[in-house]
Amino acid sequence: MRDMSYRLSVLDQSPIAAGSTAADALRNTLDLARTADQHGYHRYWLAEHHASRSLAGVAPEALIGPVALATTRIRVGSGGVMLPHYSPFKVAETFAMLSALAPGRIDLGLGRAPGSDQRTAFALQRDRSRRMMNDFPELLDELTAYLEGTLPEDHAFAPLQHLLPTGGGAPELWMLGSSPESAVWAAERGLPYCFADFINSDGAHLAQHYRRSFRPSERLAEPYVMAAVWTIAAPSADEAHRLAAPARMMFAHLIQGTPIPVPPIEEALAWLAANPEVDRRHRRTVLGRPTEVRHGLDTVAADYGADELMLVNILPDHAARRRSYELLAAEYGLAPAAEAA
Is residue 21 assigned to a domain? yes
| pLDDT at residue 115 tops 80 | no
Supply the pLDDT for residue 340: 64
Q: What domain count does the chain have? A: 1
> How high is the pLDDT of residue 122?
63
pLDDT confidence of residue 139: 94
Q: What is the band of 1 on the pLDDT scale with cuts at 50, 70, 90?
A: very low
Per-residue pLDDT at 281: 58
What does the pLDDT average to over 316-340?
A: 91
Instruction: Tell me the pLDDT of the chain averaged across its residues.
Output: 92
What are the beta bridge partners of residue 196?
Answer: 228
Q: Averaging pLDDT over each range in 184-198, 247-261, 324-338, which range is the top one?
A: 184-198
- Least reliable range by pLDDT among 61-65, 135-139, 210-214, 268-272: 135-139
The verdict on residue 127 lying in a domain is yes
260 located within any domain = no
pLDDT of residue 277: 82
Whether residue 314 is predicted with pLDDT greater than 70 in this model: the reply is yes
Question: DSSP assignment, residue 15?
Answer: B
Report whether pLDDT(129) > 80: no
- Check residue 256 and give its pLDDT: 85
Asked, for residue 250, whether it belongs to a domain, the answer is no
Query: pLDDT band for position 2 (50/70/90)?
Result: very low
pLDDT (average), residues 46-62? 93
Say what percent of the chain tops pLDDT 90. Answer: 82
Residue 249 lies in a domain: no
- d(CA 147, CA 83) in angstroms, rounded, equals 15
As a whole number of angstroms, the distance between CA 216 and CA 134 comes to 26
The lowest-confidence range among 2-16, 25-39, 99-113, 122-136 is 122-136
pLDDT in tens, 70-86: 999 999 999 999 998 88
| Burial (CB count <10 Å: 0-12, 13-18, 19+), residue 86 | middle
At 255 the pLDDT is 85
- In percent, the amount of the chain with pLDDT more than 70 equals 91
The DSSP annotation for 136-191 comes to HHHHHHHHHHHHHT-S-TTSTTGGGGG-S--SS-PPEEEEEESSHHHHHHHHHHT-
User: Angle, to 10 degrees, between the axis of helix 22-38 and the axis of helix 318-332?
Assistant: 20
Q: Which residue type occupies 274?
A: A
Residue 263 lies in a domain: no
Mean pLDDT is lowest, of 3-12, 122-131, 226-235, for 122-131
Cα separation, 327 vs 234, in Å, equals 7
Range with lowest mean pLDDT among 105-114, 213-222, 224-233: 105-114
240 part of a folded domain? no
Tens digits of per-residue pLDDT, 260-309?
999 999 999 999 999 988 765 567 999 999 999 999 999 999 999 999 99
State the pLDDT at residue 223. 98
Sign of CA dihedral 86, 89, 90, 91: positive
Domain ranges, residue 301: 7-235+284-340
Hey, which residues does 11 pair with through a beta bridge? 45
In a domain, 54, yes or no: yes
Q: The CATH number of the domain where 181 resides is what? A: 3.20.20.30
